Every structure is written in C-alpha cells, then in structure tokens.
Structure 1
Amino acid sequence: MIETSLSKIMVNHKREEILLFPDTYTTQPDSSAEEKIFYVNGVKCVSGHFNPKLEVFVPAKNTNGLSVIICPGGGYEKLAIDLEGNEVAETLIQWGITVFVLKYRFPNGINADHETPLPLIDIKKAYSIVQQRANDWGLNPARIGLMGFSAGGHLTSLASCLLSIFNSKNDQQNVVPPLFTILIYPVISFSDAITHMGSRDHFLGPNPNADLIKQYSSEYLVHPLSPPVFLIHCSDDEDVPVENSLSYHKACVENGVSAQMHIYPAGGHGFGMHNTLVTEKWIDQLQKWLVKF
C-alpha cells in the first residue's frame, strides 16, 4: 500500500544513489549476512549487510538551497526505508528542499576497542559528501539539517551533539555543523528507565556499563552550540517512551538551545507522517518551523 502511494508521486524530480564508500568500506562483524527486504505490518524494511548509501531526492524546480539528511528508524537492526525515509523525502521536495535518505549500517554492539560505531561513521561521511558536493545540487553548504525517526533519531541526536565528528583532521575541509535537527519519536536515552532496549542492545551490546550508557545517551550530550531542534512524540508511545523527547527538550532548554516540541495524546510509535489518531498533522508544523532556516 505504501509502495503504491509512493509510485504515484515519484515523478517530476531527479533521483540518484551515492555509495558512501564506493571503493572500500568497513564491513560489519557479520559480513556473511546479505541484504534483505521484508515487510513488518505492511512497512517495507531492509536489513542485513550492505554498502551504505545516500538516496538523493532533488526537486524538479524551485530548489531553495536547503537540504536534509534523513535517518530512518528500525531499532538498529532494520530500516523502515519508505515510511521513515523515501516517503518523507517525497513530501519535503515539494517544499523545495533537497533530501538525502541515509541507508546506514548497524552497529552490532560496541567492540572491545570502543571504535566509532558504524552508524556514526556513515552519517559523518554522508554529511561531508553533501557539503562538499553542495554546488552539484544548487545547495548552500551551511544549510544542511539532520532528521531521524526512532533509532534513526538516536543517531541524528548523537551526530547533532557530537559536533567534533564533523571536523576530523582527515577531512579535506572543515565541515559546518548541522543547521538544525528534526527528531520524530526518537530514541534519546540508553538509561534503563526510558530506553528502547532493542536499540540499546544492538548499539551497545548486552549488559553495558553505566559509563557507556551515559556516553551514548543524547540528553547528556546537549551543549550550548547544539543545533535548534524540532521534536515530535506521542504520550501513548509504548515502544519508545515520551520521556525520551522530554529529556532532550529539557537539556536543550537548560543549555539555551532553541527547541520546539509537539506531544500528541495518541498515535503510538512508528507512524511516519501518518498519525491518524489526532487532527493536527505534524508535517505541517514542521513546514512552518523550517521557514526560519
């Protein structure tokens, strides 16, 4: 059903795919697992082993120079690539925004050497590609935002707070930090009380210590230079408790970071743009918020 609706609107704009590491890339521990496409309650998902890539959506006309990198959710074990990626991109390009849907690798637990988790490597590389090739798409390299759903929201919030990952000594140029962050029912915290345990287990591995939990809980990483944020959550979310967004918003307020949050009484989790249990459409609120950028 989702694919059918997408096929009707995937017209009048340009699309391309960009491999993040076309020549070589860091493999996952389970390199024998091939990429799989499957459906969960009608939602198209991808999982397994794949070369990370960007799916590029360029408006056919009236490009406004703004761009957004989207990180779909899926508990760090799969990606809801249409519902929380391509379908959202199709809407944003109608606003003149160029969109990049990131197909990122899964962390499979922090290894013994505590190397940078694969998703963070991928989002850093994706961001660098968009900035360095901005002229190719008629973009402003200083007007790049990040957007994430569920576990993709965790990745997005981490990347937004850890601004140092965008300024590696190995980069050919300094990378301007994200202009803004959009978090839709995000996993923020890895603390026992409010985390999505599946996301935490896949990211940190079983039985992580307190220091590791805090290191990758975004509510502890917000600082005065963190990007402005737009948050969406439902109070009846049983998968990722609303306290995740509340804790991030609280941290933003305490650090003087601009934050707009919409908490809806119903909707649960994993609805993409389609929360049918409330009248207000969060995507309309997002469009109004983005005007300031």
Structure 2
Amino acid sequence: MKSDRRTLLGAGVLMSIFGSARLAAQTAPPAAGGELPPGLPQPGETIDLWPNGAPGMPAQPPVETTTERSEDALVTDRAVLGITVPRMAVFRPDRPNGAAVLLMPGGGYRHVVVDKEGYEMARWLTARGFTAFVLFYRLPYDGWEAGPDVCLSDAQRAMRLIRHRHADFAIDPERVAAMGFSAGGHLCADLGTRFARRTYAPVDDADALSAKPVCAAPIYPVVSMSLPHAHPGSRELLLGADPSPELEAAHSPDRMMPGDAPPFFLLHAEDDDVVPVENTLLLRAGLKARGIRVETHLFEHGGHGFGLRKAVGKPVEAWPELWRAWTKGAGLG
C-alpha cells in the first residue's frame, strides 16, 4: 500500500509540474468588474463538484452575483451569492508537501466571502507547501431540495473529489484537512461530525470515498442553532424563521458528535460581538464528552472575522502558525 501511494504521489508531482495546463478552469472565478489588484495571485483552475449539475435545483434557480465590498484598490473583498455551480478554486504550491486543505469561507450563509476567508488563506497555505481548495458552496435559502443539508452536500462532495483526484495534485489522500470561518466554520464542524451522513445520491466513483477530513479547524465558528448562543442570521437562513428544537439539534455540531470524529483545532476571540465565544466552548465540550482530541485557543481581543488581514498587529496574529504546529500531530503535517 505504501509503495502504491508513493507511486501515485510521484505521478502527481509530475502532473503538477508538467500537466497543470490540461486542468483548466471549468467555471470561471468570480469577477465584480474593474481591475484586480497587482501582486495577488488569482486561481486559474477550478473544479466543478457535480458533473451533471448540482442536484435538487430550485424551480427558480438563483443567479450568481459577485459584489466587491472593498474600498481599497489594493485589497479585494468579494462576496458571492446565488451559486448554482458549486466548485473549488484550486491554489497549487510550487513544491507540494503532500497535504491539502479544503477552505470554507464564511458569510453568514447569505453569501460566500471568497477573498478574506478563502483566497488569502489559500495563498498563505501554498507558500508553505499545502495545496488549497476554496469551496464555493450553495446557500440554503435559495430553495435547494436538500434544504439545510445542501451546504454539507457540497462539502462532502468536495472532500471526496479531492481524494479521488489526489494524484493530479501530488496529494496523499489520507492528508486532507478542513478549515472554515464563521458560518463556514459551522460547515467545517458539520463536515467533521456528519461526514458519514448521506445527504445526496452518489453520482460517480468519487462518492465511494470517505468525506471525513483528517482534522478540522473551525475558526470563530457558528456552532449552536439554539438561542441565545446561535448567530440569528445564520440560523434563520439555514433553518428558517421558526425551527423546531429537533431541527436545531440536528444542525448543531456540538450535539451531533460521533465517536470517530477527527481531531479539532478551535479558535475564537472572546470579544467577538457577532458570534459569541460560547459557540466554540460548546463545541469543545461536545468533543471532550466523546473523547475526541481537541486544541482550543481563546484570545482576549480580535473581534469577529479577523482572518489574516484583521489579525495583523494583535496577539491573535499568531493563530495560523499555532494551527500549523498543531497539524503535525494531527495527521496533516
């Protein structure tokens, strides 16, 4: 088995060096008009998740729209909504280290914030040898047949596709992690706890593979769907205006913890005035109750949505290196 994996990884390295031009973008990265800032690498390669179109299309499909929210010409902050072609934007390192990270940006389940919590983190990861995949997931309020499971369907499918195509990217299929931010942190925790739940009908050989990440890192995550700790906007867009207690519990990862969940890395600022720190504490308690490995970092200051750019100059700036050091003992490093 080990020799087979080495052979596959070697083939992947050759593909990464000589054949990347053949893996061109399927669905173009988002654009919001105007010139993109110089010096910020943009993905030229994407992977559409569903070969025959996303399942359960609404009767009135949404229209994908990208909005540029940044007022700084040198920094992009695009928000994408109305996604009908779920996909991954691929960031390849110059020298792959054999590990990959599936990134799930936040956006309150209203849109997907692809720059601040996607592309920026992907660039950080590729500079350190990781292959990064930024997930453009469908949004639950658009009327998809899967309802509140639609985002998880895309995350599960993405994990399986990364493993299925690991040789194309010089990736060890057993070293694929998940990381998510805010509502994307909820999706990350959902994937880390409900990876085995069937949320869609299999479409090809990739769906025979596991969707379980080797480790999961929900960053300032939405976790609970029950008040008072739930983030009201995410809760309503995911579950509706008046969800039942049973529906709340089914979509609160701290209450859906399996005994075989992967190790978790948790991070939150205690002065977060958008998603209360209690969300991370509840998730930690749920992990501890099931005997799952978990590392938790709480910072006094940082607020919400700091990612990389808003952490500069604060103690919380250290968080990516804390995660990287932790991964070495969590199966990714």
The residue type paired with residue 78 of structure 1 is H
1:17 — aligned with what? 46
In the alignment, which of 74, 82, 88 is matched to residue 48 of structure 1? 82
1:8 — aligned with what? 39
In the alignment, which of 63, 78, 82 is matched to residue 115 of structure 2? 82
The residue type paired with residue 150 of structure 1 is S
- 1:275 and 2:308 matched: no
How far apart in 1 are the matches of 2:258 and 2:231? 24
Conserved 8 A contact 2:61-2:84: no
How far apart in 2 are the matches of 1:138 and 1:144? 12
1:115 shift after superposition: 5.5
How far apart in 1 are the matches of 2:267 and 2:35? 26
Deviations 1:246-279 (A, max 9, x none): 1111111121111111111111111111324622
1:288 shift after superposition: 1.2
How far apart in 2 are the matches of 1:49 and 1:109? 9
Which deviates more from structure 2 when the two are superposed, residues 14-23 or residues 195-204? 14-23
Q: Which one has the largest radius of gyration?
A: 2
1:119 shift after superposition: 0.7
The percentage of counterpart residues that share the same residue type is 31
Conserved 8 A contact 2:58-2:142: no
The residue type paired with residue 299 of structure 2 is Y
1:101 shift after superposition: 0.4
Is the partner of 1:95 in helix, strand or coil? coil
Conserved 8 A contact 2:109-2:183: yes
Structure 2 unpaired stretches of 5+: 1-33, 72-76
Structure 1 unpaired stretches of 5+: none
Deviations 1:150-173 (A, max 9, x none): 001111111110131379883633
Residues 98-117 of structure 1 aligned to structure 2 (within 5 Å): 98-108=131-141, 117=149
Measured on the aligned residues, the alpha-carbon RMSD in Å equals 2.6
- 1:251 and 2:286 matched: yes
Conserved 8 A contact 2:119-2:134: yes
Is the partner of 1:282 in helix, strand or coil? helix
Question: CA 1:236–1:68 in 2, change beyond 3 Å: closer, same or farther?
Answer: same
Q: How many residues align?
A: 287
How far apart in 2 are the matches of 1:47 and 1:142? 32
The residue type paired with residue 10 of structure 1 is P
1:97 — aligned with what? 130
Higher-strand-fraction structure: 1
The residue type paired with residue 215 of structure 1 is A
1:223 shift after superposition: 2.7
In the alignment, which of 170, 174, 183 is matched to residue 142 of structure 1? 174
Is the partner of 1:182 in helix, strand or coil? strand
2:321 — aligned with what? 284
The residue type paired with residue 194 of structure 2 is L
1:210 — aligned with what? 245
Conserved 8 A contact 2:176-2:213: yes
Which deviates more from structure 2 when the two are superposed, residues 132-141 or residues 25-34? 25-34
Give the TM-score, by structure 1 length: 0.89
2:10 — aligned with what? none
Give the TM-score, by structure 2 length: 0.79
